[in-house]
Structure 1
Amino acid sequence: MSINLQKGQRISLKKEAPNLSRLMCGLGWDVAPKSGGWFGSSPDFDLDAFVICLNENQKLTNKSDIVYFGNLRHSSQAITHLGDNLTGDGKGDDEQIIVDLPQVPTKINKLLFLINIYDSKNRKQELSQVKNAFVRLVDLNNNQEIARYKLSGSQYQNKNGLILGEVYRHDAEWKMAAIGDAFDARGIADIAQKYA
């Protein structure tokens, strides 16, 4: 049974999914309503999911340790982004990231899962305008959802990015924490700079 995570909640992936080796992080959201009726011109919301790999000092040591639409596969082959959805159209996950936990290099201690709105400043978009957004973790060994975290809400007003959660090593096992911290940034490079 899937856990509905609350901000700040931590779970043991070993306890919730004892045989977990391949993990899928799925992100979904609904298309923002167009303004101006049938001929409205407001652009689609393009949420980008990405992973920042941190060492034991919580630092990003190499820009190739960011897995996103411009770098779909980590050099270790342990983390794969399955591609960019530009609109949020369709049901279910709009973007997915696969993590092969046993293949994650030991120098990586934490995987931060984040989203941001592409070109949010020019499009005048913020996370509070996104509807029905969620992130979920799935055990790919049996396709069972482990946990889900709902993101929509007014607390994200004037914010265009969000740290969804983190998967981290603790005493030789993987754990997960729902973070839910929103921020305002100019893009993935600007976000990554905070961990340099």
Structure 2
Amino acid sequence: MPARPMTRGSNVALTREIPGLKGVVLGVVLASPERVLNDNLVVATLLCDASSQVLSREHVVFFNQLTSPDTAVAQLERARASGDLEQVEVDLRGVPDDVVRIVVVAYINDGLGHRRSLGQLRDARVRVLDLADDTELVTSENLAPALSAETGLVLAELYRHGGDWKFKVVGQGYADGILGILRDHGLAP
């Protein structure tokens, strides 16, 4: 596993490098000196097919829908480890075969109307922990310095590749927030 933070676009073969890995926790770190922004940050997880299209509205895991239909992906009501704004547990063995990509996103709730942006973040990272013991396996670089007027961000994705699960740091910002992210993943409003 990489010792240094992973940069945008880099990936790692989790289950190939750790053959006994049964589940992971995706921990999202988002922090701003501005309390109003911190209070309006939302993390969501999109369960997608091979074409990066969300399978259905029930396959979006967030504060109003804490688990996927099969319960293999669940957003925790309270983070298990300190420092993470949100955490998502993934039972790698329980994820249905039609879910090929698990995309972790963040956005500002009502961000466009409040003149807030993710450019006001001082820290934006995602890390992967072993579900069995909370050992940190990998972490992304701080994605915040590259952000400016964006109100939505695709942080990373966990995806199947040749029978293994891989993790990729994405870091793609969206000026139109969650609407743009959902549109690009097949859930246009």
TM-score above 0.5: yes
Amino acid at match of 1:63: R
Superposed CA deviations along residues 139-164 of structure 1, whole A, max 9, x for unmatched, are: 112321011112221x2111011111
- Percent identity over the alignment? 24
Give the stretch that moved more between structures: 14-23 or 121-130: 14-23
Unaligned runs of 5+ residues in structure 2 are none
Aligned counterpart for 2:143 among listed residues 151, 161, 186: 151
Which residue number in structure 2 is paired with residue 115 of structure 1?
106
Which stretches in structure 1 are left out of the alignment for 5+ residues? Answer: 35-42, 86-90
Count of aligned pairs: 182
Q: Is the contact made by 1:20 and 1:139 (CA closer than 8 Å) also made in structure 2?
A: yes
Give runs of aligned pairs for residues 1-196 of structure 1, distance below 5 A: 2-33=3-34, 43-45=36-38, 46-83=40-77, 92-149=83-140, 150-153=142-145, 155-187=146-178, 190-196=180-186
Distance 1:3 1:74, change over 3 A: farther
**TM superposition outliers: structure 1 runs of 4+ over 6 Å:** none
- TM-score between both structures, scaled by the size of structure 1: 0.84
Once the two structures are superposed, what CA deviation does each residue of 1:90-148 show, in whole Å capped at 9, x if it has no partner? Answer: x5111111110100000111111111111111221111111223211101123210111
Q: Work out which of the two has the higher radius of gyration on C-alpha atoms and give 1 or 2.
A: 1
